[in-house]
Amino acid sequence: MYQFSGKLKMLSFALILIGAIGIGVGFYNAPSSVEDVKEMMSHEASSHVDDHAGANNHAVAGDHKEESHVAATVEHVEHADNGSEDHGVSHEDAHAEHVFHQLQNRPWSALYVSLFFFLGVTLLVLAFYASQRVAQSAWSVVLFRVMEAITANLVPVSIIMILVILSASVLHWNHMFVWMTEGTFDPSSPNYDAIVDGKSWWINTPGWTIRSIIYLLIWNAYRWFIRKNSIAEDTANDGYKTYKKNYNVSVGFLFLFMITETMMSWDWIMGLDPHWFSTLFGWYVLASLLVSALTVIAFVTIYLRSKDALPGVNDSHIHDLAKFMFGFSVFWTYLWFSQFMLIWYADIPEETTYFVARFEEYKVPFLAMVAMNFVFPILLLLNSDYKSIPWFVVIGGIVILCGHYVDVFVMVMPATVGSQWYFGIPEFGALLFFLGIFIFTVFSAFAKANPVPKGNPFLKESEHFHYYNIEHRGEGSGDHH
C-alpha cells in the first residue's frame, strides 16, 4: 500500500493556500464601479495623450471593430441611439462600462479557466478509464488504480463548478455569460438581443443550470459506482460477475459521456460566445482534454513508479501512454486546424469573428498553443526510444499541459475579458489552487486502495505487457521474449 507522504500533503495544502490568496487578490483588485474604471482609463490616457485626443473618428472606428468581434456586453445597444453631437461623450461612457465589465470578469474567468481545465482533465481520465474497461484492454490494467485515484479529483471540482454555475445563473454575481444579462430576451429592453433570443429555447438560465447539474451528477455517479465496484472486484471471487457488471456500466457511461460532454462544451464554453456556433466544438474540447488527461495519467504513473508504489508497471506501459499522448496531440491539432481552416476559408462574418477576436488580441497564446500542442510533442515523442524514457515524457508532458491550459484560456478569455487579458496573479493563483486540490485528492485516494487491481482477469497479461522494441531498464533480457 502507498503512503501519502506528509511532505506531499504539506505541498498540496501550501498550493491551495497560496492559490486561494491569489484568487482573493484577483477579486480584491477588480474594479467595483464604472467610476473606478474611468479614473483608471484617464490615468492611462494621460500617459499617452495623442491616442484619444481629437481623434473622434478614429476612436469610433476602432471601437466599433472591437465591439463587433467581442459581440458581448450591452455596448452595442447604446450605440444605436447615439446622436452625432454627444457621440464622443456617450461612447466613452459606453466604452468605460464595457471595460468595467471585462475587468470585473477577469477574476471569475481566471478561476473558471483553471476550474474547467482541471474538471475536464479529470473527467477525461474517467472516460479513458471507462474506455479501457469497455475495450477490455490488457495493457492498462495495472494503471487502473492510478486512473481511479485521479478521478477522485472530480468530486471537489464538481462542487466548485456547481457553486460557480449557481453564482453565475441564480445569484448573478458575475457577467461571464452575456446572455444572462437582464433583458436579453425582452424586446422592450435596451439589452434585447434578437439573435440570442432566437436560441432561448436552449440558452436560458434555468435550463442551463439544470443541465449543468445533471452532467455533473451523471459523471460523479459513475465515478462513485466504478470506484466502489472496482475495489469490490479485488475480493469478489464471484465468477467475474462484478467485472461484467463494471463492464456494462462503463458501456452505459461512455454513451452518456459522449452526449453530456458535447452538451457541456456548448453550455460551458460555446455559451460564452452566444452569437457564435461551431459543430466541431464538442470534439475539439474533447481532444484537448483527452490529451491532457493522458499526460496527467503518465505523470502520476511516473511519479508513483519512482516511489515504488506501482509494482506491475514497466517501461512499456510508459511507452504506451506516451504513444497516446503523441497520437492525441496530433488528433487535437487535426480538429483545431479543421475548425480554423474551414472558418478561415469560407470567411463567413458570423463565424469568423471568433477567430478575429483571438487573432487580434491573443496572437501570442493562440500561436504558441499550436507550437506547444503540436510541433513540440511531434518532434519530441516521435522517436520510439524516447517514449519510454520517463524524463523525456515528463518534459513533453509539461509542454503539452501548459499548451492545453493556454488552449482553454484562449477558448474562454476573449469572450469574457476581451482585450483586458493578462496572465497574472488571479490566473496563476487559480492554477495553483486547483493543482493543490488535485494533488491532495489524487494521492489520498491512491493511498486508500490496493495499487494492484487483483481481481481483474487481464491483470497477468498487463503485468507481462511488453512492447517489442523496448529494452526495459532494470530487467534481464530473459524476462520477456
As a whole number of angstroms, the distance between CA 207 and CA 267 comes to: 10
Q: Which is nearer to other proteins, 386 or 446 (CB)?
A: 386
Residue 341: CB minimum distance to other proteins, A: 5
| CA max distance for the chain | 88
Q: Which is nearer to other proteins, 13 or 337 (CB)?
A: 337
Contacts of other proteins in 55-84 (CB under 8 A):
none
Residue whose cell numbers read 460566445: 273
Residue whose cell numbers read 524514457: 389
As a whole number of angstroms, the distance between CA 36 and CA 53 comes to: 21
Query: At residue 337, what is the residue type?
Result: F
In terms of DSSP H, where are the helices of 417-455?
425-446
Question: Mind giving me the DSSP string for 200-217?
Answer: TTTS-HHHHHHHHHHHHH
Residue whose cell numbers read 488571479: 426
Regarding 364 and contact with other proteins (CB under 8 A), the answer is no
Q: Which three cell numbers stand for residue 420?
A: 483586458
Contacts of other proteins in 209-248 (CB under 8 A):
none
Query: At residue 396, what is the residue type?
Result: G
Contacts of other proteins in 455-474 (CB under 8 A):
468-469
Per-residue mark of binding to other proteins, 91-110 (x: CB under 8 A): --------------------
Q: Which is nearer to other proteins, 237 or 469 (CB)?
A: 469
Residue whose cell numbers read 473622434: 56
Per-residue mark of binding to other proteins, 307-346 (x: CB under 8 A): ------------------------------x--xx--xx-
Q: With CA atoms as reference, report the closest residue to 325 among 365, 277, 280, 372.
A: 372
DSSP 117: H
Residue whose cell numbers read 482534454: 289
Query: At residue 178, what is the residue type?
Result: V
Residue 1: CB minimum distance to other proteins, A: 36
Q: Which is nearer to other proteins, 118 or 340 (CB)?
A: 340
Q: Which is nearer to other proteins, 277 or 337 (CB)?
A: 337
Residue 337: CB minimum distance to other proteins, A: 7
DSSP 149: H
Sign of CA dihedral 174, 175, 177, 181: positive
Q: Which is nearer to other proteins, 43 or 481 (CB)?
A: 481
Q: Are 219 and 212 spatial neighbours (Cβ–Cβ below 8 Å)? A: no
Residue 276: CB minimum distance to other proteins, A: 19
Residue 329: CB minimum distance to other proteins, A: 15
Regarding 347 and contact with other proteins (CB under 8 A), the answer is yes
Residue 342: CB minimum distance to other proteins, A: 10
Q: Which three cell numbers stand for residue 211?
A: 443541465
Residue 82: CB minimum distance to other proteins, A: 32
Regarding 477 and contact with other proteins (CB under 8 A), the answer is yes
Residue 336: CB minimum distance to other proteins, A: 12
Regarding 382 and contact with other proteins (CB under 8 A), the answer is yes
Residue 379: CB minimum distance to other proteins, A: 10
Regarding 479 and contact with other proteins (CB under 8 A), the answer is no
Q: Which is nearer to other proteins, 268 or 336 (CB)?
A: 336
3-state helix, strand, coil in the chain (%, to 5): 75, 0, 25
Binding site for other proteins (CB under 8 A): 337, 340-341, 344-345, 347, 382, 384, 468-469, 477, 481
